[in-house]
Structure 1
């Protein structure tokens, strides 16, 4: 019975923690929110092994497309794990200028969210399945902000 209880506990624990840890950097301006999600070194190495088919340590266009279709564009169903709202509206995320960068042994997803900052706005990361953990690494903006962080996500209030 003890072994069964331990097995159930460990199985539940495996599903209750993130599989990928991302250092997140944001640049918030009046017309755009630039995002950089940087994978840790271990996951970067595993992902490069999986997607760099010709093993040249560069993700070619076809490899980038395969990666983005497998790991990024699937997030659309959860609004790319981003909650973006001002006082009147919650916005759908439509990423632009999406790219992958492999630099200093770390893989990053870089993308923009075109957004006109017209009033106080909230930007949060939230993964309902807890597959991705977002650590706010850098925030660059000229606006006053209020930041709340947890182990797996963050929320930023941007005050206009």
Structure 2
């Protein structure tokens, strides 16, 4: 963690507790929310594309043979590092089922690729419990430390896959940080500002897909 894995693991996972520090890593995300014929959410499919600066630092750390590219075995090591490191953080997955936070299972693997100077990660996660399409639900991808900015470029990058989930009323919500702060001044304590990772309140800032079924 402190040698060859330092950049990726530390930047993605061991980010310092900075009071509303601006993000240091930027990634464009796509999330596909998949349902089956049993009126249940079966998986969440993720694609993350990281900014060129961070991607170049990953290249430097994982390019063992110094050939200025990430070979298949090196990409596999990147994927395994993220797989192991982000388990504690639920792979930045935010799920609320009728107001209750839902965890996800560890995926079997995370695929990594490197194209046009950018690192890409591909993986799917499954809810840790049965997630029936009933009531109100929300889904998003968000780093609670606010060290990594996960951005959905368009509303279409939060996609619903399956007839059952598409039958639910749905909308993409993009919270305005200033409005969130103004509306929740009473509940945003000093503990939140000193260490957002120690609270669930930071999730109020996350772009999300909301469903009513």
From 78, 83, 95, the equivalent of 1:84 is: 95
The 5 Å alignment of 1:1-160 reads 16-30=21-35, 31-54=42-65, 55=67, 57-61=69-73, 63-87=74-98, 89-94=100-105, 95-115=107-127, 118-119=132-133, 120-137=136-153, 138-142=157-161, 143=166, 144-150=169-175, 153-160=206-213
TM-score, length of structure 2 as denominator length: 0.58
- CA distance 1:129–1:89, shift in 2 (3 Å): closer
Offset from partner CA, 1:102-160 (integer Å, 9 cap, x none): 12221111110234652142113332322211101322325243222257741221344
Shift of 1:22: 0.7
Aligned to 1:8: none
Structure 1 residue ranges without an equivalent (≥5): 1-11
Equivalent pairs counted in the alignment come to 148
Matched-pair contact (CA < 8 Å) for 2:96–2:139: yes
- Larger relative strand fraction: 1
Shift of 1:27: 1.6
TM-score, length of structure 1 as denominator length: 0.74
Structure 2 residue ranges without an equivalent (≥5): 1-16, 36-41, 178-204
